Amino acid sequence: MMHLVYNQERLRIAVQKKGRLHEASMKYLSSRGLSFPQNGKSLIQSSESAEVDVLYLRDDDIPEYVSRGVADLGIVGENVLAERGVELPVVAKLGFGRCKLVIAVSKSSRIKEPADLDGKRIATSYPKLLGDFLRREGVEAEIVPISGSAEITVELDLADAVCDIVQTGATLEAHDLVPLFTVMESQAVLVESSERSMRKREFIKEVKIVL
Ligand code: PRP
Ligand code: ZN
């Protein structure tokens, strides 16, 4: 097993380990000249071309790592930042990972407008954003908290509706669901910690990390 010795001079960039943003994030870094070896199971890898390490994390954890300065930069969806309620300086909007947080129901559902959600169960891994939306709409619904794969809950009768991310729409379609309302629109952003500002400014200029 390989262990990396922490070098304080190296910057750490947090990216999603797997999921919607993973590939696009790696492609973006490589377009900025930052490539990482594609080997092994390690959750941290060092760039061969720059003083940078990449951390592969659950996207939901990225705001925490960056706000605590454990990662200097992070690539994460605005949806995740908003759900976590973590305010971080945005270096750039990256233009990929565009998606919507929607409330979706089965094609045959009688739910047609927000008021129809009254007394219904909505499964989501976005309880904060959904709760805010329901309050704004004056709707009392039961939030069923789950940590992923929300799309399966309606056919299994765990919920009457889901509140989840749609990018291509393929996952909703596969479960016979249709989006009804948009709770939030989102894209990937590059965020930074409030520490090591000088070092980061140099880096951002040097590798032109911002397009
Ligand atoms: C979201 C969501 C769906 C998928 C939808 O997951 O939970 O699984 O994207 O994409 P589609 O419309 O293109 O089919 P995400 O990658 O955000 O990760 P998560 O598992 O961390 O929620
Ligand atoms: Zn996630």
d(CA 67, CA 44): 18
d(CA 106, CA 156): 12
Name the pLDDT band for 2 (thresholds 50, 70, 90): very low
Element (H, E) at 166: strand 161-166
pLDDT of 45 above 60 = yes
pLDDT value, residue 5: 47
pTM beyond 0.75: yes
Cα separations (Å) of 158 from 44, 100, 152, 153?
Answer: 37, 23, 9, 5
Residue 99 Cα, ligand 1 centroid: separation in angstroms? 9
pLDDT of 7 above 60 = no
* 97, 186 Cβ separation under 8 angstroms: yes
Question: Residue with the nearest Cα to atom 5 of ligand 1?
Answer: 166
Q: Looking up tokens 């233009």, which residue turns up? A: 95
Pocket-testing residue among 98, 171, 172, ligand 1, by greatest number of atoms within 8 A of Cβ: 171
Q: Is the CB of 175 under 6 A from ligand 1?
A: no
Residue 53 Cα, ligand 1 centroid: separation in angstroms? 25
160-196: buried (b, 16+ CB within 10 Å) or exposed (e) per residue? Answer: bbbbbbbeeeebbeebebebbbebbebebbbbbbeeb
Q: What is the mean pLDDT of the chain?
A: 91
Question: Residue with the nearest Cα to atom 18 of ligand 1?
Answer: 19
Among 150, 189, 154, smallest CA distance to 171 is for 150
pLDDT value, residue 201: 80
Residue 60 Cα, ligand 2 centroid: separation in angstroms? 5
* 66, 74 Cβ separation under 8 angstroms: yes
What does the pLDDT look like over 59-96, one tens digit per residue? 999 999 999 999 999 999 999 999 999 999 999 999 99
